[in-house]
Structure 1
Amino acid sequence: MGSVELLKLLVIGLYLAGTILSLSGILVARKSLRSVGMACAVAGFALHTFDMGLVTSQPGNSLTAGAFYYSLFSWLLLLIWFLAWWRLKLGFLALTISPLALLFYISSLRLAPMHVTTPPTLLGLFFGLHIGALFLALALLAVSFGAGLAFLHLERKIKTKEPLTGFRKDLPSLSTFDRAVHWAVAAGFPLYTVGLLSGFFWAKLTWGKVFSWDIKELTSITIWFLYASLFYQRMVTGRQGRRTAILAIWVFALAMLSMLGINLLTPSHHSFTAVPL
């Protein structure tokens, strides 16, 4: 086993330990377990950052490899989680984001070495505006997803007047969850819009046409309209609470279906399982 393989196994081990300990700490209301879980996640994130640095420093087309996309998304999920935990004290997001980050990192190691066709002169633009903006938007959607689930769960407990036992006693208020959804949508939708538009611009320069009726493109546009509706309700009409929480959950679910289903299972120029170059 080489040093690179060992590094990747260490990342998986730390992410797995962080996920298990964080979930256990939340479910049994043990702050010490949550703290150790967070420490494992931070250590895994540091090694993951080093791993991505090694990949990007390699000559060739490492930045266009499909496996790198999933690794990058896993890294961004953790980054957004840490920011949410630091700014909003939303440690409960470990219930959703930590397992997702682990899933996408493991998926990145299982992908075929497929490369996306990108002119070298556009690679920086492609990553900065398309991949970077989209993945940040989707990582923020993960925040709204977790906050939306927690909001619905706590709201149901309150409405049915059930006692808040176990980990529920330590949950933040409904307003905190609602604020997290608002924060994630306010930052995420503009990023998603930039990412989508830059993707069409890149398609025009690469394939000579803006739109090709690819299933990934159709799904991305559908997600944009749903995301736009969520953004409009939160930012323009001021709608809060249950309805926007449910919509945030559906938008994120569709986005994950696109990333884990369409990119892996459908034969198109967005596929991550195509024949290597």
Structure 2
Amino acid sequence: MDLNRYLGAENIFFTVTVITYLLSMISYFIFFLTKKNKVGFAASVTVLTGFALQTVSLVIRGMGAGRIPLTNQYEFAVSFAWGIALCFIVVERRYSFRALGAFALPVIFIIVGYAAMQSKDIRPLMPALQSSWLTIHVSTAVISYGSFGVSFALSCMYMMKQKLKGDFFDRQMPTLEKLDFLTYRVISFGYLFLTLVIITGAIWAERAWGRYWAWDPKETWSLITWIIYSVYLHVRLVRGWKGKSAAIFAIAGFICVIFTYIGVNTLLPSVHSYVR
């Protein structure tokens, strides 16, 4: 199969993925409003289907490119959404927490929508990217950013439940304490992988450019993001910091993640500007 056929097949699977995530998002909204178990079950099945289709899309692109599909804006955006979907599915199954889909699926859909606006061209890798560290570094970023995306959804749910009280929201959402704890657990997991992102990135930079750190905009904003989540975990563990302030901090952290990924590549000159 030549490259054009691979790209054609990938485009079909990607398009169906976007449609499936849209249907899943709508289903989760309906479930959130009606709490009908059949609708919730359908939403869960639909997001699993979208995740499977997205996985196939990534595999096909990787086969066509002859490399891991994580080297430009389009590929990382698709993988970013994949990471959020994976983390969400794990949380939903682990805690039987379907209402979270009404908050997580919009994030996934927006990111795959952003991916759809990027160039899908496959180009030869520049020398700096021809390294086995690419797979480790970017894969850990996908898991880390995916976890932070779910923590963002949990924090948004926390803020809504705190402001809009009543029987309806009490039925549809876990307690504030459980939402706060789940946010902490997910951020802790993402923070571990973000630390690995920075470490593997430094090792890769030394191999590619002969230095571990150069205060490149991407490096700087990755460090800022790491510091934000470090502060979140520190004040929670040392001072027992919880509640609304912690939720706002988690939301700010994810905004920083988005700027690190999109804003830096779009607005700031960087050696990472090849990720387009």
- TM-score, length basis structure 2: 0.86
Indicate the larger mover: 245-254 or 259-268: 259-268
| Counterpart residue type for residue 40 of structure 1 | T
What displacement does 1:265 show? Answer: 4.0
1:38 aligns with 2:41: no
- By how many angstroms is 1:245 displaced? 1.5
What letter corresponds to residue 149 of structure 2 in structure 1? A
- Do structure 1's residue 22 and structure 2's residue 24 form an aligned pair? no
Matched, 1:118 2:141: no
* Separation (CA, whole Å) in 1 of partners of 2:126 and 2:236: 35
Q: 1:64 to 1:91 in 2, by over 3 A?
A: closer
2:245 aligns with 243
CA contact (8 A) 2:141 2:193 kept: yes
Listed one character per residue, the Cα deviations across residues 121-164 of structure 1 (whole Å, up to 9, x for unaligned) are x32x3322x2122221221112221222222222234xxxx533
> Structure 1: which 5+ residue stretches go unaligned?
none
Alignment-mate amino acid for residue 9 of structure 1: T
Separation of aligned partners in 1, 2:221 and 2:98: 31
Q: How many percent identity over aligned positions?
A: 21
Query: In the alignment, residue 263 of structure 1 is paired with which amino acid?
Result: N
| CA separation of 1:64 and 1:31: change in aligned 2, threshold 3 A | closer
Q: Where does the alignment leave 5 or more consecutive residues of structure 2 unmatched? A: none
TM superposition shift of 1:33: 2.4
CA separation of 1:37/1:116 partners in 2, compared to 1, >3 Å: closer, same or farther? farther
* Residue 9 of structure 2 corresponds to residue 3 of structure 1: yes
Q: Report the AA paired with residue 134 of structure 2.
A: F
- Contact map agreement 2:103 2:156 (CA 8 A) in 1: no
1:107 aligns with 2:114: yes
Partner of 2:82: 75
Partner of 2:167 in structure 1?
A: 164
Displacement of 1:270 in angstroms is: 2.0
Distance 2:68 2:134 in 1: 14
- RMSD, aligned α-carbons: 2.4
TM-aligned CA deviation for residue 20 of structure 1:
1.4
CA distance in 1, matches of 2:104, 2:127: 30
| 3-state secondary structure, aligned to 1:53 | helix
Match of 2:230 among 220, 228, 231: 228
Following superposition, the deviation at residue 72 of structure 1 comes to: 1.3
Partner of 2:92: 85
Structure-2 separation of matches of 1:116 and 1:40? 38
Instruction: For 2:128, give the aligned amino acid.
Output: T
| Structure 2 counterpart SS, 1:65 | coil
Counterpart CA distance in 2 for 1:261 and 1:134 is 16
TM-score normalized with structure 1 length: 0.86
Give the total of aligned pairs.
Answer: 266
